[in-house]
Each structure stands twice: as C-alpha cells, then as structure tokens.
Amino acid sequence: MTTPLDSRGMTMRDALGAAADRWPDAGLFCAPPEAGRDWDPEGRELSYADIRAEADRIAATLIRAGYGRGHRIALDLENRPEHIIWKFAANAAGASIVPMNPDLRPAEVAYILTDSAPQLAIVARGRARAFAEANAGQRQDTRRHIPTLVLEDIDPDALVPAPNLPAARGAVTPQDEGSLIYTSGTTGKPKGCMLSQGYELHVGRWYAQTQGMLGLTEGDRLYNPLPLFHVNALVMSFFGMFHLGGCQIQPRRFTRAGWWADIAGCRATIAHYLGVVIPVLLATDASAAERAHGLRVVMGAGIEPSLHALAQDRFGVPLIEGWGMTEMCRAIVADAEPRMIDTRAIGRPRAGLEAKVVDAEDREVAHGAPGEMVLRHSAATPREGFFSGYLNKPEATEEAWRGGWFHTGDTVTMDDSGMICFVDRKKNIIRRSGENIAAAEVEACLMGHPAVAQVAVIAAADPIREEEVMACVVLKNGVPASEAQARALFDHAFARMAYYKAPGWLLFRDDLPVTGTQKVQKHALFPDGGDPTEGAYDFRTLKKRDAAI
C-alpha cells in the first residue's frame, strides 16, 4: 500500500514544500496539447519543483505588496497551470482565492466580487472586459473597486497593486481560508463556501487513502476535464494526486475528440467523468482508441444505470460511481463489490464519515425508505473535515447543520449493508451537464423583464445533458404570447447569465398553480405527468458557450 504524504497540521505552503522535497521532478500538473488554444497549444507539464519555485516567487511579491491573512484574490484563469500556481502563492501569503467561472456574465461577476470583496483579481485576457464592466459601478468607491491584472500582461519583476485593507496579523495556519468556492444557492444568488487550507488537504488525503477498486497509487496520473472553479478538480482530484506524487492532467474542457487522445497521449491511469460524458462517448462510433489507453479505473457521478455495464464493456475499464459536494468533499464511492451498477448506488461511508437518512422532521427512516442524506464526522466532532461555513450567511450555515448533522439536500435510500442510492435532489436545483443551476436565480432574472408577470423554472429531462432548464412564464396583461416574445425572454436571460443557465425550453401559460399564500406549486404544473415540453419553444441549440450576446 502506498503511503500518502502526511499533511496533517500543515499549511498549504508547508505541504507543497514537503511534496516537492519528496517528488521534485515528478509532474504535478499537465495541460494536454490543444491546437488553436491561445495558451500552451503544444501542452505543458510542470513538476512539483517547478510549481513550488514559481509559487514562492509570486508569494514573495504578494507579501512585499502587503497581502496576507484575511485577503482574497479572484482568479478567472480557466484551467490554465497558472491557476494552480496562483492558488499556492496566495495561500502561502495567507490569502484565499476566489475561483471564477469564465462563463459568467458581468452582472454575475459583479455579484461575486461584491459578496467576496477580493483585494485583487487575476484574469485571462479574454475575461478582462467582463471584469471591467463588473467593476464599472465601483470605480468611485476605492474600497470596493478591485484592481484587475491581465495574466498575459503581468510583469514578473513588478509589484502588484497594494491591497486596500491591511492583512490580519499572525502566522498562516491550516484553519485560514484557502479557497472561496461559489455554489448555486437554492433560494437565489450563489453562496460562497469557505474552505480552509486544512480542509482542502484533508480532502486530498481522504481521496489518496481510498481503498477498493479505486485504490490510488503513487505516481498515478489523473485526467480531469472538469473546471478548476469546481471542488472536484481544484480540491478532490488535484490534492488526491498531490498526496501521492501524482499528476493532474487538465484539459481546457471536455471534448469527445480530445478525451481518448489526451488520456493516451498524457499517460493517464485514472479519469474523472460526469454523467453527461458517458452518453456522449457512447454516441461516438467505436474506434481502436477506446482500448488504446492505460486507464485502471474511471471515477465519476451521475451515469445512467442502463449505460453503466455497456460503457465498462466497451471501454474495457471499470466505472466507479461516487458522491461529494463542495461543503463535504470526502467522497463516498461505490468501489467495493457488490457495486450495484444497475442502480444509482453511490457507495458506503467509511470510518471518519457517518451518514443517515432522515425525514422532513429529521427522524431517521427505515432502511430502503427515501429521505434526506445527512452527514457528520462523529458525534464528538461533527464538523471535522467539513467546510468552514457560508460567507456572510451564518444563519444558512447553522440551518444546514441543524441537529448536529450536515443536511445535504439530496434524497437517497440506504440498504441494510449501508449502500446509499441516489434518488433526487431535495433542493430546487437543476443539474445540466454537471452544472448545478438554482431555479430561483433564473426566475429572478426573467422576472426582471418588463413583459413577465410570473415565472416558475423547473428541470426538464434531457437525453444528453441529464436535465435542461425550463421556464413556465405568465405574461403581463396585453403582452401577446409569440415565438418572438419567447426569443426576447431567452435573449434577456442569455445576456445576463452564464450560457448554461438560460432557459432551453420556454412555455407560456395563462397562470401558475399557487398555494393560499401565493407560493407556486411546481409539483402541480403538470399534474397528469405528460411531456412538460409539449408546446414549449426550444432554445437548446442557442445555448452555446461562445455565442455572441
């Protein structure tokens, strides 16, 4: 059995130093080649020693400029190697990073900047305009205006702009914030999850110590096409590799053409997927490349059970289902037989993570009955190994932890063996191609259009993307329902939100079912169980990442 790096009690800087001492020349981060990409089109791999040296250099620059504990630095750098370097540098100085989704529109960027109050932003050139627009309303308030540096234009010998506020005193500790990751809020705007440096290293150690079929080993190379603004790639898989002298292989994004080529060319031994990846790969004509790989195992979440065995047989590698979330990313994985691959089994908790299934009154339900999954480390230390809380939302943090258990918002069942099977999300969330979309956020955006009187946003089943955003809209009196009006509402949302949040389906209705207190009853929108998209306008083909707005 491989002995992972023991990072307990370490800060991020200490852990990087220990890892670089142990595996100085091993690759830690690999960007596969991608023709036409405006950064590293031929690919680039950085060793542990490379990343330590560059992070130390930037950290020294930040410290000289006055950055330290209590500060945040926003990063909008896609999946570039610099994202990892700047994270280590910021954490070494005592600052936290705010990873930004490069698909966010200026208004969404402005919300996160206002909520997180970073002292500095480092962005790729293609994102400079969005940040300039997001900052436009804050230029008169020097305390809120965020200096923004374009990565490609940074002078390595020049000081960065000084922070507006002094750093907190004291030495950096594992309890200091390492990252602030935004997740979809169930009642509106996204919530910032505060992740300590110690939490992130804990998640990596947990993953590195996974046994069973997944069983990571020293020197593994993990291909992860998910974004670095998500906890999966930034924390779980990256720090899993980090603790084993392994390497994270990080393409710009998932593509069906790049998947097998990258895995073979970069010598991947493990890969991560989301449910949408597997049907896309299966829909591609079979080729020799599907078997010309060195994968030992593939790990992910959300595969359709009917495709699980088919994909394993076709690609010649086991697919391991698991579960995790930003607030608690010590992954639960179904990597021990019987894996029950014809169900939505996600695994059994192991020592150090307790789980139970409860009803609406937090009473534990019988085995096999559906209920909400709640988690804790132990009765004595329930929050050990969990996130630090929601930024600026202490009430939401305590509500999630009511009764001493963290409430995940996911409906599951648990059998007599402890196997947990995913059923549905309790939260008002739409899961599209791996992105969690808060229905309330889309509803708020559409309600901002002058033609809209009422709106209810729900999830519609999608054969490729798992779910699609569907908006049921009641127009104001005198506004006619038409395809042109539907397109106007789509354009309104598309211009103000990340492309994937805009409604792929839009249906006009005369009214919406409501309770006596005028709360929309979404379960009653389609009581007969028919196709909810019948009669709706289909805008799915317009939802493209790089489409003009």
DSSP string, 113-134: HHHH--SEEEE-GGGHHHHHHH
The structure tokens listed for 369 are 């009955």
User: What's 361's domain CATH number?
Assistant: 2.30.38.10
Number of helical H runs and strand E runs in the chain: 14, 26
CATH number for the domain that contains residue 493? 3.30.300.30
**Residue pointed to by tokens 């994985």:** 333
Do residues 98 and 130 both lie within one domain? Answer: yes
Q: Name the phi and psi angles at 96, rounded to 5.
A: -110, 160
pLDDT of residue 56: 98
Torsion of CA 469, 474, 480, 483, to 10 degrees: 10
Domain identity same for 53 and 127: yes
- Separation of alpha carbons 288 and 293, rounded Å: 10
Structure tokens at 433: 């191609």
Strand-pairing partners, residue 180, are: 194
- Which amino acid appears at position 392 of this protein? N
CB burial class (10 A; 0-12, 13-18, 19+) of residue 368?
Answer: exposed
Q: How far is CA 162 from CA 66, 126, 380, 512, in A?
A: 6, 24, 43, 52
Q: Residues 201-225: pLDDT tens digits? A: 999 999 999 988 999 999 999 999 9
**Per residue in 75-89, pLDDT tens?**
999 999 999 999 999
Residue 246 placed within a domain:
yes
368 and 328 share one domain: no
Task: Give Dmax over CA atoms of the chain in angstroms.
Answer: 71
Beta strands in 136-242 (DSSP E): 148-150, 177-183, 191-196, 221-223
For residue 84, give both structure tokens: 């990892």
For residue 472 the two structure tokens come to: 């049921």
What pLDDT is recorded for position 440?
80
Average pLDDT, the chain: 93
183 pLDDT higher than 60: yes
User: Taking the mean position of all CA atoms in its chain, how far away is CA 77?
Assistant: 15
Q: What is the pLDDT of residue 286?
A: 93
Phi, psi of 316, deg, nearest 5: 70, 35
- Kindly state whether residues 24 and 114 are assigned to the same domain: yes
Structure confidence by residue, pLDDT tens digits, 476-492: 889 999 999 999 999 99
What pLDDT score does 517 carry?
A: 47
Amino acid 257: pLDDT: 92
Cα–Cα–Cα angle for 72, 77, 83, rounded to 5 degrees: 65
Residue 188 has pLDDT above 70, yes or no: no
Amino acid found at 528 = D
82 with 136, same domain?
yes
pLDDT band at 546 (very low <50, low <70, confident <90, very high): confident
Closest CA to 53 of 81, 88, 78: 88
Domain boundary among 427, 462, 484: 427
Report the CATH number at residue 120: 3.40.50.12780
Show the tokens assigned to 206: 């947990």
- CA dist., res. 231 & res. 233, Å (int): 6
Q: Which secondary structure element, helix H or strand E, spans residue 50, and what is its range?
A: helix 48-65
pLDDT at residue 15 in the model:
98
Q: Please tell me whether residues 286 and 360 are part of one structural domain.
A: no
State pLDDT tens for residues 339-364: 999 999 999 999 999 999 999 899 99
Give backbone dihedrals phi and psi of 399, rounded to 5 degrees, phi first: -65, -40
pTM exceeds 0.75: yes
Last residue of a domain, one of 330, 347, 364: 347
Q: Is the dihedral of CA 17, 21, 24, 27 positive or negative?
A: negative
Whether residue 340 is found in the same domain as residue 409: no
H-assigned helices in 408-529: 439-447, 483-496
The pLDDT tens digits for 500-535 are: 999 999 999 999 887 654 567 888 899 877 899 999
Q: Which candidate, 124, 80, 129, places its Cα nearest to that of 109?
A: 129
Domain presence at residue 70 = yes
Flag whether 442 is in a domain. Answer: yes
Question: Does 31 map to a domain?
Answer: yes
Domain contains 6: no
Q: Are residues 285 and 315 in the same domain?
A: yes
157: left (phi > 0), else alpha (psi -120 to 50), else beta? alpha
**Residue pair 74/113 in contact by the 8 Å Cβ criterion:** yes
Residue 195 lies in a domain: yes
Residue 46 and residue 264 in contact, taking contact as beta carbons nearer than 8 Å: no
Q: Do 334 and 358 sit in the same domain of this protein?
A: no
Question: Residue 49 burial (CB < 10 Å; 0-12/13-18/19+)?
Answer: middle
Tell me the backbone φ, ψ of residue 223, rounded to 5 degrees: -90, 120
pLDDT tens, position by position, 275-317? 888 988 998 899 999 999 999 999 999 888 889 999 999 999 9
**pLDDT at 198 (0 to 100):** 98
Q: pLDDT for 234-277, tens place per residue?
A: 999 999 999 999 999 999 999 999 999 999 999 999 999 988 88
Strand 27-31 to 44-47 pairing: antiparallel
Examine the domain organization and report whether 528 and 447 are in the same domain: yes
Residue 1 lies in a domain: no
Residues 320 and 377 placed together within one structural domain of the fold: no
Query: What is the average pLDDT across 390-407?
Result: 97
Confidence of residue 186 (pLDDT cuts 50, 70, 90): low
Q: Are residues 334 and 408 in the same domain?
A: no
92-140 pLDDT, tens digit per residue, is: 999 999 999 999 999 999 999 999 999 999 999 999 999 999 988 655 4
Q: Is residue 5, in this structure, part of any structural domain at all?
A: no
The two structure tokens encoding residue 331: 């992954």
Q: Measure the CA–CA gap between 8 and 120, rounded to whole angstroms.
A: 30
43: left (phi over 0), alpha (psi -120 to 50) or beta: left
Per the structure, the complete domain to which residue 522 belongs is given by 434-542
For the chain, how many structural domains are there in total?
Answer: 3
> Is the pLDDT assigned to residue 166 strictly greater than 70?
yes
**Last residue of a domain, which of 397, 427, 457?**
427
